[in-house]
Amino acid sequence: MKSLLLIFFWGLPVFSIAQSPVPLARPFALVELFTSQGCSSCPPAHQMLDKFSNDSSFGTDSVAIISFHVDYWNYLGWEDSFSRHTFTERQKEYSTVFGDENVYTPQLVVNGKSGFSGNNEARLRRELKAIQHGVKYESTGLEITSLKLNGDKLIFSYLPGKKVRNHSINATLVSIADTTVVAAGENSGSTLTSKNTVRAFLKLPMREEGSRAFLNIPVDEDKSRLRLIVWIQSLQEGGIMDIQVFDLP
């Protein structure tokens, strides 16, 4: 399985420091879109989510929407430059949890607990309303204690506020908006826009003493276009909590 990035973390304890980075937002929900530039049904899903994020009754920055580009459409003659097999594997993991026989695009996954068609705006709103007004996951008190750039790497340290078992810490680098002219495949001749495109992703086991890790920044990418999104996720049930969004330093 190909990996988008190198993962390396040190076993030394990481202690909270006085000036921890301040999150840009703490959304109550994470919406993952599994998509592809080779899928003719995917552009409407992107347009729907763009409209949703600009005209939402949930409040500014209350929902984080990210786009994972899968690689199983690439055989149709157009290779999605944002696609990674790692993202396809993530979708397959959800498929197993949800009891679906096959993966498909576009698909939305809300807070790791439910998956459905990426063009179903009505269900997306129902799902988010249920989370907003329902029982919340108990926070772990996750703190990102440091965040710094070192060449082409974004290094961060984390410290869970309390002991959590069977959970992972997940981190993505997303580019705010990307426009691509597609020259082949089902969307041949179209100019497509993807918002919050996942450019790097990692999944780490939670460590009570905290740890640090890095994400590789895409070559020649304008760092001002990138954001870091981190969250805690149950390894057994998939539920997501403690979502935090950061600008790069």
Domains and CATH numbers, the chain: 29-247 (2.60.40.10)
pLDDT band at 5 (very low <50, low <70, confident <90, very high): very low
Q: Do 229 and 199 contact (CB within 8 A), yes or no?
A: no
Triad 152, 158, 163: Cα angle to 5°:
155
Q: Which amino acid is at 248?
A: L
The predicted model gives 158-185 an average pLDDT of 91
pLDDT band at 236 (very low <50, low <70, confident <90, very high): confident
- Separation between Cα atoms, residue 196 and residue 178, nearest integer Å: 8
Q: Do 48 and 106 contact (CB within 8 A), yes or no?
A: no
Of 21-30, 36-45, 147-156, 162-171, the poorest mean pLDDT is in 162-171
The predicted model gives 14-19 an average pLDDT of 46
In the numeric block, the tokens 């002219």 are attached to 181
The predicted model gives 189-203 an average pLDDT of 96
Cα diameter, the chain? 52
Q: Is residue 8's pLDDT more than 90?
A: no
The pLDDT, as a whole number, for residue 136 is 66
Q: Do 167 and 234 contact (CB within 8 A), yes or no?
A: yes
